[in-house]
A = this chain, B = another copy of it.
Amino acid sequence: MARASQASTAELLRAQGVRVTSQRLEVLEELRRERDDVTAQMLWRRLRERGSLTGLATVYRALSLLNEKGVIDALSHHGTELCYRLCNDTHHHHMVCSSCHRVVEVEQCGLEPWLADVASRHDFVATEHKIEITGICGSCR
């Protein structure tokens, strides 16, 4: 299972035309393990706890590369540090539970008509949008 997972993780890197290194695999595997989003620092600490020797600078470099390539998303909902999250590649948004910080992905967006309307009202053409919804999840209620 870890094997199969690693295989597809490597595919993910190859598909982006970047080199497959054990450190990048580690970072992706760790992101795959995370239910919620993590900062570079958090991710690095967890790798260390697992015995990894990967350097912090490498984690930063891997995360920003993967973000550029669109393999992972960067959110910034709490405070000043960026959080990263492995994502599926379809357009989607995030909803975060304010109590337990669980993140769920909202697949169907369906906001295009609304967006087009709002944008044109201000003489804009909307090219991208990002929505962050905060709420309370079922188990925290």
- Interface residues of chain A, those whose CB is within 8 Å of chain B, are 76, 79-82, 95, 97-98, 104, 106, 108, 110-111, 114-115, 118-119, 122-138, 141
Residue of A97, A108, A124, A137 with most chain B CB atoms under a 10 A cut-off: A124
Q: State how many copies of this chain the complex holds.
A: 2
Return the chain B residue nearest A82 by Cβ: B80
13 of the cross-chain contacts (CB-CB < 8 Å) are A76-B76, A80-B80, A80-B82, A95-B122, A106-B122, A111-B111, A115-B133, A123-B138, A124-B138, A126-B135, A127-B136, A128-B133, A128-B134
Docked Cα-Cα span, A104 to B120, in Å, equals: 12
A44 to chain B, nearest CB (A): 16
Asked whether A127 lies within 8 Å of B114 as measured between CB atoms, the reply is no
A108 to chain B, nearest CB (A): 8
With contacts A76-B76, A97-B124, A118-B95 taken as known, whether A131 is within 8 angstroms of B134 at the C-beta atoms is no
With contacts A81-B80, A137-B123 taken as known, whether A114 is within 8 angstroms of B115 at the C-beta atoms is no
